[in-house]
Amino acid sequence: MAAMSDVVAVWEVALSDGVHKVQFEHGTTTGKRVVTVDNKELLRRNWMFKLVGKESFTIGKGHKAVIFIEAVSGFAYQYTLDVDGKSLEKFIENRSKTSKTWTLTLDGVDTRIVLEKDTMDIWCNGKQMETAGEFVDDGTETHFTVGNHGCYVKAVSSGKRKDGIVHSLIVDGSEIPEAME
């Protein structure tokens, strides 16, 4: 376990396959750099003479991540995380346009369901689901099952160009409110 004093940054990154915890250790006296994702060490460098720079790695299913290490003043450093070429804030903002997330408890298990709007892929607790699409009077329904629960994502036009298509999750006949991640 790392000496807590070397952990300089922790980020949470919500992706389709789950929420990933990224932890960065920077030993400014030893030149050590360690990147840990979901408590698994992905990268370790010892005795780096250059204390600034960047470290690249992958999160989840092929998302490219880069931690930038910059000197602010004297011996103070700033750490920023980019995901898929965007700052974490921009990445999160963009994800909210391209995906939709619901969290609920099914059979006593915390369940996280994610819709990727561009592909209509549905993920449940990190696994891509088998789905069947169906046209209905006012839009489409994408059906899948979680355990013995019948689920579907309904896509209907909002009638407003700015809002586009509205997606809702129905589980066992009840609509589930969207999660704010």
Describe the strand order of the beta sheet including 121-124 as a list of residue ranges. Answer: 99-106, 109-116, 121-124, 127-128
Burial degree of 95 (CB within 10 A; 0-12, 13-18, 19+): buried
d(CA 112, CA 101) in angstroms, rounded, equals 7
pLDDT at site 3 = 47
Identify the structural domains of the chain with CATH numbers, from first to last: 4-84 (2.40.128.180), 99-176 (2.40.128.180)
pLDDT at site 54 = 95
User: With 80 as the cut, is the pLDDT of residue 12 above it?
Assistant: yes
Q: What is the pLDDT of residues 83-130, one digit of tens each?
A: 999 999 999 889 888 999 999 999 999 999 999 998 999 999 999 999
User: With 60 as the cut, is the pLDDT of residue 2 above it?
Assistant: no
User: With 50 as the cut, is the pLDDT of residue 17 above it?
Assistant: yes
Q: What is the mean pLDDT of residues 142-158?
A: 95
